[in-house]
Amino acid sequence: MENPLLSPFDTPYQSIPFSKIKSEHFIPALKKNIERALKQINELTQQTASPSFENTIEPLQNTGALLERNSAILFNLNSAETSDAIQAVTQQAAPLLTKFQNDIRLNQALFERIKTIYYQRDSENLSNEQRTLLEKEYKALVRNGALLSNDKKEMLREIDTEKAQLSLSFGEHILADTNNYQLHIKSEDDLKGLPDQVKEMAAEMAKSKNKEGWIFTLDYPSYVPFMTYAENRDLRKELSLAFGRRSFQDNDNNNTQIILRLIELRKQRAELLGYDSHTAFVLEERMANSETIVNNFLEDLYQKAYPAAQKEWQEMVDFAAKNLGINDFEKWDSAYVSEKLKQAQLDLDEQVIKPYFPLEKVKAGVFEIAEKLFGLRFTKNDKIEGYHQEVDVYEVYNKDDEFYGLLYTDFFPRPGKRNGAWMTSFRGQKKGQRPHISIVCNFSKPTASTPALLSFQEVTTLFHEFGHALHGMLANTNYAALSGTSVFWDFVELPSQIMENWCYEKEALELFAKHHKTNAVIPMEYISKIKKAAHFQQGLQTLRQLGFGFLDLSYHGKEIEGIQDVKNHEKKILERVQFSKDQPDNCSSTAFSHIFQGGYSAGYYSYKWAEVLDADAFELFLEKGIFDSETAKSFEDNILSRGGTEHPMTLYKRFRGKAPDPNALLKRAGLVN
């Protein structure tokens, strides 16, 4: 059987021929890719010439190109279009890839060459980018065990293999529990309060399962509207508790033991490498380079946000008792009451503004904004394959009409796709190679009578992920290892979060916020209300994010031995940021994919850290004009195109002319004057 993964793709822009790739192709291809890459490494280390950047670091960047491509395809499919077959292959692939990574990281001959170059770097006449790459390669090997004795290297291999498999299982368990639940409603009375589009989606879901009535799931476009609008409190409770039970039930998908084992393995790994904790290991390569700095940062925000959050919570409790007959306020009431309170205080009904945000117009709008700011042009190409029929592919061109990349967009939930939203890459950027970027979301689907209409939160989510995509698409570096989003983890959210700001600006909204039936531009009064709504319950929103940050750090600090029970530990950490009563059969840790499946372990604080950067950076756009070409050019030249070629603070100061001001975030949130 011909295996398409064994050679470069003979397609436009070497795009992926998804229809030709079968699950059984991956393992044979990955094994051959690994064999070839190890042979290349061996040839590199056995050369007789003295080690130099040109004969060692440079060729190392092009080693294993097919392996990198094929593993990206596999893991992206496992997130966005998985199946039992893909999950089985991914479980097989994880230890193979971990072993390969360790074979490189723990290759003593390779390390000796890189170490020699590193210590003679001042005599090599290297560019800033080359120096950064050399330091990154050297540190990566040291931080992955190059200085360990052989027996400890073997321990590291075993830890990494187990960690990789556990993280995969963690995500698979959440997806399984999410897919296993459905709320089947047969009486229309139980749908009171729900918008017509939400009801129509639920009816179509039931029909797809050959059932009468309406079906709601734990996917966000189904779950969030139900919790926000459904008047039936008992059903809100049922759905809320089902959501909170994901991977915390007495079944094969329970993640509590995986969490305990993962945090133990991470601590063991850190200690092997000479660090006190996983947090200490992670933060060494962050802008906030110590646990003390991060804790002080979070604590400072907490002290400023808590009084506002407490006031906002009490306001909801009082409003619920006075206006909604809810005297025992519970967590399944918060989204519902919050929406009612927002309507009362701001006269802003999400369902009134939703018709102004049809997905196709919002997408066209974000493309137009990217063109105004950075000169990018997006052309849909139906001949380039996506991995699912709902995936669209766009050719991206720069202001000089040069091909600049491919963008895949994937917007709707389905059974083989994990919840949430993310940007990823099928192919990175480097000299002579443009990137293939993908943004994946879970938005409300179109129905038979209505196009896909986005909530305002979904609008900001699209802009957020598109900001990440811009970081990838506008990358212009020599080496993939320093390109696009390959930056310090607490810097990576700046491009995504700054893009959200355009959603609140009249000049930007008028480009795309147009009624799906009449094409009328969103009225100015709504824009004014949207801007006011940006301050609504910011104390509670901030406290929620801080809670995740505190919880993350608690799992990765020095004293994890005291964590014997995940639920009890979580309850203890979160009690200072939560006002609702704890539910014994609910646990957020067991579905905390960011830190146990994704790359945010000891790094969840970075969302808030990057918010400081984006609030401060956007002040310059507000000062100069949100479409000011000079400011946009500076942001592209100093941030978006530069990737990780220099320290992020150096890049930031070059753009902004100063260090970021933490008060910019607090002012924008309305938490300080």
- pLDDT exceeds 90 at position 581: yes
Residues 36 and 49 in one domain: yes
Residues 518 and 400 in one domain: yes
pLDDT in tens, 594-633: 999 988 999 999 999 999 999 999 999 999 999 999 999 9
Residues 141 and 18 in one domain: yes
HEC secondary structure over 581-637: CCCCCCCCHHHCHHHHCCCCCCCCCHHHHHHHHHHHHHHHHHHHCCCCHHHHHHHHH
Residue ranges making up the domain that contains 20: 4-147
Q: Please, which residues have CB within 8 angstroms of residue 545's CB and are 6 or more apart in sequence? A: 607, 608
Residues 470 and 586 in one domain: no
DSSP per residue over 445-475, as a string? PP-SSS--B--HHHHHHHHHHHHHHHHHHT-
- pLDDT grade, residue 38 (50/70/90)? very high
Query: Which pLDDT belongs to residue 1?
Result: 61
* Assigned domain for 48 exists: yes
Residues 49 and 16 in one domain: yes
pTM: 0.91
Q: Is 666 exposed, middle or buried (0-12, 13-18, 19+ CB in 10 A)?
A: buried
CATH code for the domain of 406: 1.10.1370.40
How far from 29 is each of 21, 25, 65, 98, 635, CA to CA, in Å?
Answer: 11, 6, 12, 16, 40
CB 495 within 8 A of CB 640: yes
Query: Which pLDDT belongs to residue 561?
Result: 87
Q: Please, which residues have CB within 8 angstroms of residue 132's CB and are 6 or more apart in sequence? A: 482, 644, 645, 646
CB 393 within 8 A of CB 380: yes
pLDDT in tens, 631-647: 999 999 999 999 999 99
- pLDDT exceeds 80 at position 672: no
CA distance 152 to 100: 17
Residues 216 and 295 in one domain: no
- pLDDT exceeds 90 at position 241: yes
Which of 147, 170, 193 is the last residue in one of the domains? 147
Query: Which pLDDT belongs to residue 423?
Result: 97
- pLDDT exceeds 80 at position 420: yes
Tally the domains of the chain: 4
Which of 511, 534, 557 is the last residue in one of the domains? 534
Average of per-residue pLDDT values in the chain: 96
pLDDT in tens, 278-331: 999 999 999 998 999 999 999 999 999 999 999 999 999 999 999 999 999 999
* Assigned domain for 654 exists: no
Query: Which pLDDT belongs to residue 47?
Result: 94
* Assigned domain for 636 exists: no
CA distance 223 to 201: 12
CATH code for the domain of 328: 1.10.1370.10
Q: Is the dihedral of CA 418, 420, 426, 428 positive or negative?
A: negative
* Assigned domain for 249 exists: no
Query: Which pLDDT belongs to residue 598?
Result: 87
User: What letter represents residue 519's amino acid?
Assistant: N
CA distance 498 to 621: 10
**Which DSSP category does 11 fall into?**
S
Residues 139 and 55 in one domain: yes
DSSP per residue over 326-337, as a string? --S--GGGHHHH
Query: Which pLDDT belongs to residue 559?
Result: 86
Catalytic position from the list 172, 465, 611, 636: 465
Beta bridge partners of 184: 215
- pLDDT exceeds 80 at position 673: no
Mean pLDDT for 369-397 is 98
Percent of the residues in the chain that have a pLDDT greater than 70, as a whole number: 100
Catalytic: 570?
no
